[in-house]
Structure 1
Amino acid sequence: MRKYELLAADIVKLVGGKDNVISLTHCITRLRFRLKDEGKAQDDALKALSGVVTVVKNAGQYQVVIGNAVGDVYDEIVASQGIEGAGGAAADDDGAKKDMSLLDRFIDLVSGVFQPVLGVLAASGMIKGLTALLGALSIIDPKGGTAQMMNIVGDAFFFFLPVMLAYTAAKKFRMNPFAAMTVGAALVYPSLAQIMGGAPLYTLFAGTPFASAVHIEFLGIPVLLMNYASSVIPAIVAVYFGAKVEHFFARVIPTVIKGFFVPFCTLLVVIPLTLMVVGPVATWAGQLVGAAAMAIYDVSPVISGLFIGGFWQIFVMFGLHWGFVPVMLNNIAVYGYDPLVVTMFGATFAQIGVVLAILIRTKDQGLRSLSIPAFISGVFGVTEPAIYGVTLPRKKYFVLSCVAAGVGGALVAFFEIHIYMYGGLGIFEYPCFVDPATGDLTGMYNGMIVSLVSFVLGFLLAFPVYRDEAKEATSLAVTTTDEKTNAVQREILAAPVAGKVVPLANVPDEAFSAGILGKGIAIEPSVGRVVAPADATVTTLFPTGHAIGLITDKGAEILIHIGMDTVKLEGKYFHAHVQQGEKVKKGQLLIEFEPEKIKEAGYPVVTPVLVTNTASYLDVVPTEAGTIAENENLITVVA
């Protein structure tokens, strides 16, 4: 079995199955589903999967946060689950958008167009930044063959960016992608530069900000030629317009000649109108957007940096950061640099500063196992594991990271740091602060100072105040062992299974043994039945019957997982007696299973019983007994 085949199958099943999926894309850390009915998705079950960090719903997308392995999981879903990738919109997509707000539609549009190209976009920016850095340090000759070759590698994507965006926009607007790419290619057609280099016939709008030289006419109509290399808005608007034209011709042209006549008519109409009207108007719109962004920044650069830096991680959580991507790219295309969106730079380092403080202070091995990879990912700019796995569940520390990030943003503005190309994240962003025109390294050095200050401030804010929740709980529990005291509220969970008690650390699955999914205990069953550990509601019942999630009437969230990898049995040897959403009483039969047959099939039957909202409690204390009977006291949670 391939590495992510089981995870891919579980994710698709828990989002409501293949038939519930309209489209699927992914970014650096998240699978981004468009679902017909989000109500069919099982949020808690998805969050409980080993390999899934959390679930986020935003802008009409159902986002499953995976982390660094998201590309591999995405590829496995596309390969094994029969779901088309690349974000192609289905016919039902229009209906799915009806309930979306204008902001949600804008975010959905921007993310859909830019997500597929972000990896190559960042890589090209990193190469351009590295080339500028090596030239500034005199490691290579800026005019030599090595620099020229590296410039070709780094510039190729950006020069033909209108073609790339035309392709992704075609997927979004449902236009023939090759027709759309032809429109994008027309914007960067080499002869346009030669024509623009000649003497103009006359000038339109002379004396206004929109003054434009006219070099050619088409059917007697003036054509306003502009430089569209590396531009963002013109290609997207042109493809939106092109999709409408193409759909019109597809409706009116007879089927027998559609194959070639629809693109013939589409290109003959769209490309001239793009060069004469759409391109110039979109370019002017881009210049206005850039001017507006700069005007906001100029009011108070430091306050702008404080705001964007401080709230950046919140923007990322809700997907709102996508609204800033075109602003940054547009500023770089119009001015050659961006001074505004770059103020988010310190957020990454503030986050990992807090994570390092927690990593050093905590004695919780489960939290340590989360913090180490989260810290490493954050160094390279991927902060979702840090946010969702470490700081956000401990809200105070997430707020502290935002404070440090705000200070970092204000410093970016104070030092007047500009980003000259969209490149990598984290430490890979340093070369993007090198001015490629002058080779000035000041921005990079100041960027290093900002990252260091943000990191140290995040660490210093969190380190003195952090207290390990488990440690607090232990000290408090010592003073409240008398059954008569009411100093704390407790809930006692009964054993849902009879058998031998097994420490969680001995369970042969890291997600359980490391406490990643929550604290608790495991039982080697002596009988094949699971009963309710308390009065509760069934929140999750896996279709295979191998696991069940409950929330008790007092608020404890319980996961009972029968055996290891038993999902592969696809329900064989399991029989559920309750349904999802059903209210159950303590001791009520939930699931029957056949332990011996499960063992004969090659699967361990050790059954973890976890309190998945462990972070909501001061302590989760399992029994010290060696064996336990059904309905005996198994776990005590201290609220």
Structure 2
Amino acid sequence: MSKKYEKLAQAIVAKIGGSDNVSTLAHCQTRLRFVLKDESKADKEGIKKLEGVANVIESGGQFQVVIGTHVEEVYEEVVKFVSPAEDTQAVEKDNRNVLSKLIDFISGTFSPIIPAISGAGMVKALLAILVLFNLVSNESQTYYVISFIADAVFYFLPVLLAYTAATKLKCSPYLAVGLAGILLHPNFSALVTAGEAVNVFGIPMRLVSYGTSVIPILLIVFAQSYIEGFMRKITPNSVKIIFVPMVTIFVTGLLGLLILGPIGSYAGEYLALAFETLQNSGSWITPTIIGATLPIMVMFGLHHSVAPLGTMQVASLGYEGIWGPGVMVSNISVGVAVLVAGLRSKSKDTKQIASANGITALMGITEPGLYAVALPKKYPLIAAMIGGGIGGFYADFTGTVRFATGSSGLPAIPLYIGEDIGNLINILIAIVIASIVTGVVTYFLSFRFEKDEAAIVPDSIEVTLEDTTLMTPIEGEILPLSEVKDEAFASEALGKGFAIEPTEGRVVAPFDGEVVTVFPTKHAIGLVSNTGVEVLIHIGIDTVKLDGKYFEAFIEPGQPVTKGQLLVTFDLDKLKEEGYVTQVPVVITNTHQYSTIENLTKGTCNENEEVLLVRV
């Protein structure tokens, strides 16, 4: 097994506070998901800066380290350095609110089984293709066998959920699997088929099939965690191995069959009714919202908490349309937006990154494209949300559904093949609509944003890079970029540097050089030093909305400047009065051309103090 991610794994574990700070660890398609005992011990900014880490997100009680599509390889190395506590007797203080705990539980329960569900869904899609092209008859034995191969994961869903739920609740996953087996036991199924009244200790038992169900087993494992925990506390160690599992299975099993299972089945039936009602009347509302907002959900790690709705709907109705279509068009929109942004970018590095990550997004994995291109540039994200929303509206306004769950990219199109090809045609139209809208919006927005975010040094300027010391361009308090209230700067996606919380409304040149860009709104200036350092000085956050109001520029593009020369003045008090963040990021936009960038000053500063040393 390759160990190329061993150093990255060691660094991640060290910066999350060490192995002892890890309560649980899992991974999804693109990110490592930690539940930490003390999140204050984690060096979030330090992890973000590690080569191989795209981002860090804290959501739903989880500390999520975004890696990319090769996350499983990194996970295999990380687990070598982590030993999450599994002692069911250990009681740790948990200060999270109820909503955070619920989101963490749902996400942690469903995330590990996504590969099995996706794989089974794609087998069903393959079978649909074989039938569509008359390669297999739906009355043949071949169809029968492949069908139950694909359905097995969904039928035994209670078993899979039992294991993952028990792992999250820190009770025995093997006892949980045994309890799930009770619900699916052939003898119980025979009682359901017979339909005759059954009483246990005089209590009537509701006869219902629990295959493909979700809620009953979650309630049962929840009860198991308390019953098992209680038995571990009161049972002597000498007989614990016998009596704890015996009482847990007996009490929880009966409780599940007589009370919790029926409650869960009623809840499931009402949930199925809600799904059906939503699907048949106004179903466009949810998928349109998902199509438009999924990138934001992905960035905050919330999508794994909502995605189980699709699994539940498939399990209860045999199809679903409130999650899958919206996700499909959203992912395609992100891919198109990233590809078009790459074509419009003047940076060769951006073009290469966008082409690779855009194709990955079309395949259903959007996070690399989101963090590397869409989020830093912003306008591809806006375009993808517009295109995704319009594509989602069409798909679900026409009642488009998919018949199995799986990944949501181009390879998942066969999931929409049913008894007729109507759903397939509609999802293809929705994809085309989303792609065209996204592509057009991205293209036209690029004329403004690529102009603002173009490479600071034009090709016509040729300089020999030298070590350079930058002076402070503004008076105030120096801050690390990580404290800037804008993700594009804070993540260092635009380059390394520093920020200043200004106390005066004037900006001066940090070196001898030339003005390359003065944005029409005057809120940002691009400079290049005589030694080749490319700098972006951005006055305030979102101040572009002021359209130049409160700003006055004293230079123009192409003009040479000397260190300390006045560049721009602005009304600091007015910016504060109107609620704008007044932080001034100063970024080295050609960071990749330097070996080290060292901050020389901390705390308060005046104009023309040495602040940054850039070494070739």
Indicate yes or no: 2:131 matched with 1:130. Answer: no
Query: In 1, are the aligned partners of 2:497 and 2:586 still within 8 Å (CA)?
Result: no
Mark the CA change 1:118 to 1:172 in structure 2 (over 3 Å): closer, same or farther.
same
Q: 1:632, 1:218 → 2: CA distance?
A: 78
How do 1:26-45 and structure 2 match up within 5 A? 26-45=27-46
- After superposition, give the CA deviation of every residue in 1:53-107 in whole Å (9 maximum; x if it has no partner): 111111111111101111110111112x1334xx968777742x32x23221111
- Residue aligning to 1:509: none
Between stretches 46-55 and 613-622, larger displacement belongs to 613-622
- Residue aligning to 1:287: 269
Using the size of structure 1 for normalisation, the TM-score is 0.72
Indicate yes or no: 2:57 matched with 1:77. Answer: no
Equivalent residue in structure 2 for 1:108, among 104, 107, 115: 104
Equivalent residue in structure 1 for 2:498, among 542, 548, 552: 552
Mark the CA change 1:531 to 1:254 in structure 2 (over 3 Å): closer, same or farther.
farther
- After superposition, give the CA deviation of every residue in 1:222-268 in whole Å (9 maximum; x if it has no partner): 11121111111111111111121111222222221110211111111
Query: In 1, are the aligned partners of 2:89 and 2:233 still within 8 Å (CA)?
Result: no
How do 1:97-496 and structure 2 match up within 5 A? 97-98=94-95, 100-198=96-194, 200-201=195-196, 214=197, 216-296=198-278, 298-344=280-326, 345-435=328-418, 439-467=419-447, 472=452
Mark the CA change 1:88 to 1:317 in structure 2 (over 3 Å): closer, same or farther.
farther
Mark the CA change 1:414 to 1:237 in structure 2 (over 3 Å): closer, same or farther.
same
Q: 1:390, 1:415 → 2: CA distance?
A: 32
The one-letter code of the counterpart of 1:554 is I
> What is the number of residues matched between the two proteins?
510
Shift of 1:539: 7.6
Q: 2:19, 2:536 → 1: CA distance?
A: 28
Shift of 1:117: 0.8
Give percent identity, aligned residues only. 29
- After superposition, give the CA deviation of every residue in 1:554-593 in whole Å (9 maximum; x if it has no partner): 379xxxxxxxxxxxxxxxxxxxxxxxxxxxxx9xxxxxxx
Query: In 2, are the aligned partners of 1:60 and 1:108 still within 8 Å (CA)?
Result: yes
Over the residues paired in the alignment, what is the CA RMSD in angstroms? 3.7
Query: In 1, are the aligned partners of 2:536 and 2:588 still within 8 Å (CA)?
Result: no
Q: 2:430, 2:340 → 1: CA distance?
A: 19
- Residue aligning to 2:3: 2
Query: In 1, are the aligned partners of 2:534 and 2:589 still within 8 Å (CA)?
Result: no
Q: 1:271, 1:324 → 2: CA distance?
A: 29
Q: 1:377, 1:31 → 2: CA distance?
A: 19
Query: In 2, are the aligned partners of 1:89 and 1:171 still within 8 Å (CA)?
Result: no
Query: In 2, are the aligned partners of 1:392 and 1:398 still within 8 Å (CA)?
Result: yes
SS in 1 for 2:444: coil
Q: 1:178, 1:632 → 2: CA distance?
A: 59
Q: 1:609, 1:190 → 2: CA distance?
A: 73
Q: 1:334, 1:361 → 2: CA distance?
A: 46
Q: 2:272, 2:337 → 1: CA distance?
A: 34
Q: 1:235, 1:67 → 2: CA distance?
A: 32
Q: 1:335, 1:275 → 2: CA distance?
A: 23
Mark the CA change 1:196 to 1:296 in structure 2 (over 3 Å): closer, same or farther.
closer
Mark the CA change 1:382 to 1:92 in structure 2 (over 3 Å): closer, same or farther.
farther
The one-letter code of the counterpart of 1:139 is L
Between stretches 219-228 and 349-358, larger displacement belongs to 219-228
Q: 2:455, 2:166 → 1: CA distance?
A: 61
Mark the CA change 1:191 to 1:359 in structure 2 (over 3 Å): closer, same or farther.
same
The one-letter code of the counterpart of 1:396 is Y
- Residue aligning to 1:18: 19
The one-letter code of the counterpart of 2:106 is V
Query: In 1, are the aligned partners of 2:337 and 2:439 still within 8 Å (CA)?
Result: yes
The one-letter code of the counterpart of 1:321 is H
Mark the CA change 1:632 to 1:126 in structure 2 (over 3 Å): closer, same or farther.
closer
SS in 1 for 2:370: helix
Query: In 2, are the aligned partners of 1:469 and 1:619 still within 8 Å (CA)?
Result: no
Structure 2: 5+ residue stretches without partners: 483-494, 503-509, 511-531, 542-584, 601-609
